[in-house]
Every structure is written in structure tokens, then in C-alpha cells.
Amino acid sequence: MILITSDTHGDLAAWEGVMNKYQKDLKLILHAGDVLYHGPRNPLTPGYAPQALADSMRQLPVPLLIAQGNCDSQVDEMVLELPLASEYIVTIIAGKKVLLHHGHRLDEGTVQRLCRQWAIDLCIQGHTHVPVLTRIDNTVFLNPGSPSLPKQGKEGTIGLWEGETISLVAWQAGQVVAQIKLE
């Protein structure tokens, strides 16, 4: 199983909650950015502990790929001791071409054009904290929302990739909000 997340914004409590629920089955984590810093427009969550979150991420037994978000900086990369990709990552996972980016640099039209041009199977972005799971043409678009600072909803969300299925999950309840199969 692959965990897909974004916009943790330094919230150790939310991260630990997600890890306690899902870590034993994970093979990989994809993070669409805004890892440690809360940003000037976001409130501090009760679980805000960016150094402890960095420590937890450093100790993960599975790879963690991070696309740099608008709240991520070189200082975050130094504290994490993990590389942050710049604007986007394109990779192949389980035979599927994946575009991972935060969502603050590339406008929607550019993203859709690149997905068509590059034959992207799964496009992952964060930034808005609003969960979305949809298909446009041959590409599945996932915004996992935020496990710690959800907008347009009361509960934090994440994405899970199991086999050919992408799920959007309200992680605290373990409730699947939406699902799409990759083609």
C-alpha cells in the first residue's frame, strides 16, 4: 500500500495518528508538500511540533518522496535530512506514470496539458487542503486534502493506493470517501 498525503504543516499528532493506522502495510509514502511549517495563513494545530515530525519522518522504514510546497524551505530540508524535490516529480510506480507536485506553481490548464502530453496515469497535488478524486481523460487526479488542517470538511483526509485502486480516506474514521481504479 502507498500512502499519499499533503499539507501536514508540522502536525505531529495527525501524522502519528495516520502512521498508527496505516504504517504496517506501507511500502512508500508520497507527500505533495507543505511538510513542517504551518504558514502565515494557517492556525497552529494542537499537535504542531515540526521538529518532532521531522524526526518521525526521518525514522520511517519506507521511502518518502516529497514535492516541495509553498511553505517548504531549505531549512525544512535541512531539518528533515530528506530531499525535497523542487516543483514536481515524475516517476513510475507499479507500472503507472505519476506526477507529484504541490499545486502552487502549475496552473490547472498546464497540469492537464502535461498529463495528456506525458500520458500521466495519476496526478497528485495538494495546496488547497480540499480533497478531490476525479478522472479527466486518462488521468486520475488526486488531492489528498490535509490530515491536519482540512478545509471544506471536519475531518482530515489522505489518499491510499492499493493495487489498481486509489482511495480518498477520512483517516480518523477510516472511512473511504471516494475511490477510482487506475486504467
Q: Specify the pLDDT at position 47.
A: 93
Q: Specify the pLDDT at position 106.
A: 86
Q: Specify the pLDDT at position 87.
A: 79
Q: Specify the pLDDT at position 39.
A: 81
Residues 121 and 91 sit within 8 Å (Cβ to Cβ): no
Q: What does the pLDDT profile of the chain (183 residues) look like in tens digits?
A: 999 999 999 999 999 999 999 999 999 999 999 999 988 888 888 999 999 999 999 999 999 999 999 888 888 888 888 888 877 899 999 999 999 999 998 889 999 999 999 999 999 999 999 999 999 999 999 999 999 999 977 899 999 999 999 999 999 999 999 999 998
Within 8 A by CB and 6+ apart from 167, the residues are 133, 159, 160, 161, 176, 177, 178, 179
DSSP-derived pairing of the beta strands 88-93 and 96-101: antiparallel
Q: Specify the pLDDT at position 143.
A: 98
Q: Specify the pLDDT at position 48.
A: 94
**What's the pTM?**
0.95
Locate the domains of the chain by residue range: 2-181
Which CATH superfamily includes the segment(s) 2-181?
Metallo-dependent phosphatases (3.60.21.10)
